[in-house]
Structure 1
Amino acid sequence: MNSTLCLMALAISIVALLKLFYFRRWKSPVSVNYHFTRRCNKTCGFCFHTATTSYMEQPDQAKKGLRLLKNAGMRKINFAGGEPFLYSKFLGEMIDFCKEDLRLESVSIVTNGSLVKESFVKKHGRNIDILAVSCDSFDEATNIEIGRGSGDQVPQLYKIRSWCMQYGIKFKINTVICRLNHQEDMNKHIDSLQPFRWKCFQVLIVAGENDSSDTLRDGRKFLITDQEYQSFCQRHSEQKSLVAESNRLMAKSYLILDEYMRFLDRDGRQPSDSILQVGVRKALESVYWDERAFKDRGGIYDWSRKEGSCSEVHQGLDW
């Protein structure tokens, strides 16, 4: 009888350890994309995080949620939207909090670039590891047709790159490869801009966001074939900064926290409850996150800023 009880206790202990290992192995929110607003000043036709609400958390509540994430294992935070620079005061406060209070390894921002000002970069740059600017074409007419352009996006991109170099921030470019730009040759500008990372996404359709004429955006007309996407990547394969993300790698490999501080689910289920209400662990358990795809797309990389200019950082990276 005693031996049976011992075996049962051992089995329970093993199950508990396996559960603990599973959570730590699969459910630690290493890198989180916090889309704190859905509002945007652009109208990109393929946008998959559209302005369906105008809600934003109060700063104290947002900080509470970010601290919960840090305690659960978050090492990198990426602020996105919508357009995060519509709320530059909130953005600056969150950036400084994440670096100075939470001591995160990496704080990054994704922006369309139109509202970035040197004064903001000068004030908060010491706490920004990566500044990523979305640029889908170096032809202003194409940018305007996509819904991102205003006639000066390319010159603004070069300005932001110079500010990053001046203030020691890693400069990154995000490009969505779609029907309007998949035949473009961008090598000349990428050679000139020298981003430390150039992410090229295959345009993605997300249910309820950009998948029909009933949604705010209908991205279906921007779709390209896998072969067309691969052809674009091959044309730019000499670019060491290129990070290609096909639909397969992108769709379920990002941990996205929405404006209500809920994890979004890209597997057809509802968003999680807010981490402010149920905690990070329970929220994560209710959504699907493909950690293998996260690693396959290079989700963990040299994401912390270094002393010196962006060009010096670029030279020191191991590709």
Structure 2
Amino acid sequence: MLPPAVNFHINRHCNARCRFCFATFRDVSGQLSLPEAMKTIDLLHAAGAEKLNFAGGEPTLHPQLGALLRHAHGLGLVTSVVTNGARLERLLLEHAEVLDWAGLSVDSAREDVEVALGRSRGQHVAQSIRLAALCRASGVRVKLNTVVTTLNAEEDLSGLVRQIAPERWKVFQVLPMLGQNDGAVEPLLISAEAFEGFVRRHEPLRAEGLAPVVEDNDTMRGSYAMIDPAGRFFGNATGAHVYSDPIVTHGVAATLAQVGFVPHKFEGRGGRYTW
């Protein structure tokens, strides 16, 4: 059964080179045309989707992101982008009225760590703080996504989280994925104990309504309904991507069944919330 929230990775192209990226899609060629992407959204809506998260790559670099947001919003879907902020300011200026959420990807309060992770060439933290304020001023709700690695596992991000002030803060244990980040992610992998230590350090934020929504490796595997740039569901339960047949030709139910999605894991990680 399709969960109410779906992640649609609409492109491979990205301006960053994050060493831990689990969605490089180096094994995927091509991406959907605008009519095909819109048809995919129609099918997701008909199958019961309520919220559509546009991801990448970097989705703000997709030339038709605005049209896709407008189409999804017109169907009544809650819309979201997961972004490093590349062209978010322009997106807000042109399409804020059809964008409900912006998920900002920030892993450290230190600019040098963000550079070392491949997240940016500098000023990513400052830009993210500014963009969070701009989102709120534009009526767009803010989510924060943080990946915990060897480079930031000892950090205290409490000050940064307070500055960004997200309505939802997702904290992920860095996830190795064969065919996507192998050969780059290995020095960044952390133990369960190190991840738990990071989570405990930020537990006091709970009293301020900023407690992290925590996902370790096991929680992430098989718990997301994800679509690749070629319009296929993909799963990660095996530790590598498994791709379905194209959704537009084979339908939502048949293709989702091909990738190992586990509905109770979606519910267990808190995938359903007030959006």
> After TM superposition, where is structure 1 displaced by more than 4 Å over at least 4 residues in a row?
none
Aligned equivalent of 1:310: none
TM-score by length of 2: 0.94
Aligned equivalent of 2:53: 78
Q: Tell me, yes or no, if the aligned pair for 2:60 and 2:91 is still in contact at 8 Å.
A: no
Q: Does the residue aligned with 2:146 lie in a helix, a strand or coil?
A: strand
Please state if 1:182 is matched with 2:188: no
Higher-strand-fraction structure: 2
Please state if 1:256 is matched with 2:222: no
1:165 to 1:265, Cα distance in 2 relative to 1, 3 A = closer
Aligned equivalent of 2:139: 168
Could you tell me which of 17, 22, 25 is aligned with 1:48?
22
Offset at 1:300?
A: 0.6
Q: Structure 2 CA distance, aligned partners of 1:146 and 1:65?
A: 33
Larger radius of gyration: 1
Q: Structure 2 CA distance, aligned partners of 1:115 and 1:251?
A: 30
Deviations 1:193-220 (A, max 9, x none): 2110111100001122123x3xxxx211
Letter in 2 for 1:68: L
Percent identity for Structure 1 against Structure 2: 36
Q: Tell me, yes or no, if the aligned pair for 1:141 and 1:149 is still in contact at 8 Å.
A: no
Q: Structure 1 CA distance, aligned partners of 2:181 and 2:125?
A: 26
Shifted more, 289-298 versus 134-143: the winner is 289-298
Q: Tell me, yes or no, if the aligned pair for 2:174 and 2:189 is still in contact at 8 Å.
A: yes
Q: Tell me, yes or no, if the aligned pair for 1:179 and 1:221 is still in contact at 8 Å.
A: yes
Q: Tell me, yes or no, if the aligned pair for 1:114 and 1:156 is still in contact at 8 Å.
A: no
1:39 to 1:54, Cα distance in 2 relative to 1, 3 A = farther
Q: Tell me, yes or no, if the aligned pair for 2:233 and 2:256 is still in contact at 8 Å.
A: yes
Q: Tell me, yes or no, if the aligned pair for 1:39 and 1:51 is still in contact at 8 Å.
A: no
Please state if 1:236 is matched with 2:209: no
1:267 to 1:162, Cα distance in 2 relative to 1, 3 A = closer
Higher-helix-fraction structure: 1
Alignment length, in residue pairs? 268
1:253 to 1:259, Cα distance in 2 relative to 1, 3 A = same
Please state if 1:158 is matched with 2:129: yes
Deviations 1:19-76 (A, max 9, x none): xxxxxxxx12421100011111111111111151462211111101110111011111
Offset at 1:165?
A: 1.4
TM-score by length of 1: 0.81
Q: Does the residue aligned with 1:260 lie in a helix, a strand or coil?
A: coil
The CA RMSD measured in Å over matched residues stands at: 1.4
Letter in 2 for 1:292: H
Q: Does the residue aligned with 1:273 lie in a helix, a strand or coil?
A: strand
